[in-house]
Amino acid sequence: METGAAPQRAVLGSARVRYQFVDCRWELGAPQRGRELYLAGHVPGASFLDVDEAMWDLMLGVDLKGAFFCAQACARAMRDSGRGGSIVNISSIHEDVPFPGYTPYCVAKGGLRMMMRNAALELAEHRIRVNNVAPGAIATPINAKTLNDPDKVATLQTIIPLQRMGRPEEVAEVALFLASDASSYVTGSTYYVDGGMVRYSQPL
């Protein structure tokens, strides 16, 4: 693969067309590292008994297949550049935490976790690091209904130890750390940005 900013933009532009809703970003490292951060967002809900094949294929296509081939394309460019790099996947706490009514989403994010772990091992010889950022409840437009429902907000404050929803910039700061050389000895890990939600436990 030809290296440089233009070919990489072409690769990711093609990925946007092929995998709906995938938002890809490429920054040619300055000057020694490549960095990739990509977001794949599509979250339809349905009960386990009502999920159909089309919904399953769309969810896995966007949130797992698309993520895999975006990461693979950038990893190839990073390898060919000889400079290494960092791949940061935006996952979810639901790579670990069940989410009733959203089985395909949880399957996709669980798959993204194992993809990250395998990729971290396979790509280490090329000095390419791979990590996940796993947000919990974040105050974004996708959660507008929750934010406008006092009962749901109260429930979240109960199950989130820090008793609030997160801000997008708090997720971005962790992603920036993982994409930067400040995390040069970090690979194969998931970083939760969830106010402690993934560790919630109620004593008897």
Contact assessment for residue 194 and residue 135, using Cβ atoms and an 8 Å cutoff: yes
CB atoms within 10 A of CB 193: 21
Could you tell me the two tokens for 168?
């997008």
CB atoms within 10 A of CB 26: 21
Active site residue 38: no
CB atoms within 10 A of CB 113: 18
Contact assessment for residue 166 and residue 200, using Cβ atoms and an 8 Å cutoff: no
Alpha-carbon gap, residue 148 to 150, rounded angstroms: 6
Instruction: Find residue 87's DSSP bridge partners.
Output: 36, 130
Amino acid at 28: L
- Annotated catalytic residue: which of 105, 185, 191, 192? 105
Contacts of 22 (CB under 8 A, 6+ apart): 15, 16, 38, 39, 40, 62, 66, 67, 70
Alpha-carbon gap, residue 7 to 5, rounded angstroms: 6
3-state secondary structure at position 40: strand
Q: Which sequence positions are flagged as catalytic?
A: 105
